[in-house]
A and B are shown apart, each in its own frame.
Chain A
């Protein structure tokens, strides 16, 4: 998050913008050149990347839904407060330690990758959102109640908007954790996705090309998601400042 926000200010400058896009263009050129010289690997690459991205997005959407649901429930009940220390403890567990457990139940499958990634994306979103709800302006909350926002209406028209900036920052952090989780599991035990694409162990010059190709492509995708999805959303949250 800090890195991203920092980058956000840096890239606001026109010169940096031009340089960034020149770099991006350069990387794309490398990808195309290598993939032409390496036969059909562009098709394989895109397929692998799409599959990983699909797993990640799926995991992210599950985490987003579950994290926001848990945060709102905890915030709305006195009992929920006692769960916070438990969650706080759980989030400290290095997530890769849980891989064997997930493998035991689901094997090395897409489903396992998605569920495993979801459990690591969950925490930042949950804690950012919970913090936002707990520190919400008391008078704004009172106003919402006085003007008739109760139950589901309060969640839709007060809690969610209040949590929106936290949802975005939590998502940015969670999404990058999610990339690590997905690629990690893929490299360890899966045969499809960008992980195995990078890990392909033909010890040949062909493999070096594939590696450069994979990393470059990943860089482009992560960069574009930041630029086209998270930055505009992050910009929108500035409006929510009191």
Chain B
């Protein structure tokens, strides 16, 4: 196997914020160090409120770490949000086109790419609907299409399937795996579902309670798509679930 390039690394990240009511500095991240390889699928799991979303925000440049360094080799980063974060004033088509429009790409090119993504994530027939008219699963498809439209080499996903019903989430996870294989995009996904992480990830980073650090990194060496009824799958889920401290 050829050695893969590092697409993303963080060394010794610290993050704290000032609680305006109490005047205290609250520490969220301490000493976070990791490397992620090109094409890898990494899941972050850990107790709720420990700082997983904060790390994604730092990686995407939305937030600055208090201390430490982030090194990003990725040329283009896209993000998918838990509540989809679509723009309610834009149609499905316009939402997906948003990133391309910001890049000043010409209209016919945008139309071509958007139509392609609409077909790919199964949104045909919904092009001209507004987010308010869509179900949770459909909104998340739009969120994924909006991210894919800019051809990212790094896709950050913050609990993308957490607010969906089980069947829809199951379906979207399968589709995401297909997308990952097809585009060879690096994915970093935050999730609180261990089952989801074991189904999708090459490596799982287990985070400690806040102020968080990486407690353990587990490699899952099972072929994808994974059989969720196999003994190995079940053992991994069981083992990791025990490791997450709340």
Query: Contact residues of A with B, CB < 8 Å?
Result: 137, 139-140, 142-149, 153, 157-158, 161, 164, 239-242
Number of A-B contacts (CB under 8 A): 59
Looking at the assembled complex, report how far the CB atom of A132 sits from the nearest CB atom of chain B, in whole angstroms: 12
6 cross-chain pairs, A with B, having the tightest CB-CB distances, nearest first: A148-B102, A139-B85, A147-B99, A143-B85, A161-B89, A139-B81
29 A-B pairs whose Cβ atoms sit less than 8 Å apart in the complex: A137-B85, A139-B83, A142-B57, A142-B60, A142-B79, A142-B81, A143-B79, A143-B81, A144-B87, A144-B98, A145-B62, A146-B62, A146-B77, A146-B78, A147-B78, A147-B98, A147-B99, A148-B103, A149-B98, A149-B102, A153-B102, A157-B101, A161-B89, A161-B90, A164-B89, A239-B89, A239-B130, A240-B88, A241-B132
The interface residues of chain A lying within 8 Å CB-to-CB of B28 are none
The interface residues of chain B lying within 8 Å CB-to-CB of A242 are 88, 132
Asked if B89 and A143 sit within 8 Å, CB to CB, the answer is no
Q: How far is the CA of A137 from the CA of B81 in the complex (A)?
A: 12
Asked if A143 and B87 sit within 8 Å, CB to CB, the answer is yes
Query: Contact residues of B with A, CB < 8 Å?
Result: 57, 60, 62, 77-79, 81-83, 85-90, 98-99, 101-103, 130, 132, 146, 150
Q: From DSSP, what is the main secondary structure of chain A's interface residues?
A: helix
Known pairs A148-B150, A161-B89; list 13 more (Cβ under 8 Å).
Answer: A142-B79, A143-B146, A144-B98, A146-B62, A146-B78, A147-B78, A147-B102, A147-B150, A148-B102, A158-B87, A239-B89, A239-B132, A240-B88
Give the residue name and chain of the B residue nearest to A165 (CB). B89
Q: How far is the CA of A144 from the CA of B86 in the complex (A)?
A: 9
Asked if A240 and B81 sit within 8 Å, CB to CB, the answer is no
Q: How far is the CA of A241 from the CA of B86 in the complex (A)?
A: 11
Give the residue name and chain of the A residue nearest to B89 (CB). A161
The interface residues of chain B lying within 8 Å CB-to-CB of A241 are 88, 132
The interface residues of chain A lying within 8 Å CB-to-CB of B87 are 140, 143-144, 158, 161
Q: How far is the CA of A146 from the CA of B78 in the complex (A)?
A: 7
Given contacts A139-B83, A239-B132, contact A146 B89 (CB under 8 A): no
Asked if A147 and B89 sit within 8 Å, CB to CB, the answer is no
Q: How far is the CA of A144 from the CA of B62 in the complex (A)?
A: 11
